[in-house]
Amino acid sequence: MITGKHLLELRKYPNSLYFYLKVEFLFHSNKMEGSTFTEEQLGLLLDKRIVVGEHELEDVKETANSLELFELMVNTLEEPITDDLLLKFHNTLKKGTKDEEAGLSGTWKIYDNRILGVPVKLTPPTLVRERIKDLLYRWELSNKYLPDIAEFHVEFEQIHPFQDGNGRIGRFIMLKQCLENGIIPIVVDTEYVMEYRQELGNAQISGDRTGFIKVLEKCQLRFMQKEIVLNTLQSLKDRGLF
């Protein structure tokens, strides 16, 4: 399986799986939050640092920031997930945006927030620090298998600790957890977005994580079937790195 160690090795090589994963993950994750960048446009922003197409300024800023955040996520592999790291991730995502101007970058939420169209009660601002610390504590005590990653994500999204950007930060953390623990990377493909959202909400309301875990497994399988993934795994084996 692709681990953080493999990813650091692949980062040395242009156009490798490292850069494919970066664009693939960010395209789908950002699109879920309304980004209008196509995969090709995102690739050009990564490779040439140029913006192609018409996009809102906030979208351009957050998309560029997400490329930087991906690098930060990789650079902090094997570092424990702490409240400070979560705030650092969020600050990177929101750098130079309207949220930063409003004092909402790299800080816990100030006002109650909600997920539109989902009847899930989110954690009030006064309890965010306490709930995050408890979540991080239980994560460190867990086996760190896929069900534990799913549990963490469900609870993190229900805490919704930031005023905005919770979904993207949550999926970054989920990818970090996979890479650190020998779990197939979870890239929430556009094909499974509706199922992802529906089962995430169901898990938060009912407490049953079974359906949500199945969606994550579908995303893992789709990623593993990509030709570049299969070929890279074989190349890593041939080089004695797997």
Which structural domains are found in the chain, ordered by start? Answer: 4-238 (1.10.3290.10)
User: pLDDT confidence of 241, banded at 50, 70, 90?
Assistant: confident
How many CB atoms neighbour CB 236 within 10 A?
17
Lowest mean pLDDT among 23-27, 93-97, 113-117: 113-117
What's the pTM value of the predicted model, to 2 decimals?
0.96
pLDDT of residue 43: 94
**Any binding-site annotation on 169?**
yes
167 annotated to a ligand binding site:
yes
Is 134 labelled as part of a ligand binding site? no
112 assigned ligand-binding residue: no
Averaged over 46-55, what is the pLDDT?
A: 95
3-state DSSP assignment of residue 64: helix
Is the CB of residue 2 less than 8 Å from the CB of residue 229? yes
Question: For the CA atoms of the chain, what is the radius of gyration?
Answer: 17
Residue of 6, 28, 90, 160 marked catalytic: 160
Decide if pLDDT at 117 tops 80: no
**CB contact at 8 A, 5 and 181:** no
Q: What letter would DSSP give residue 53? A: S
Is 160 an active-site residue? yes
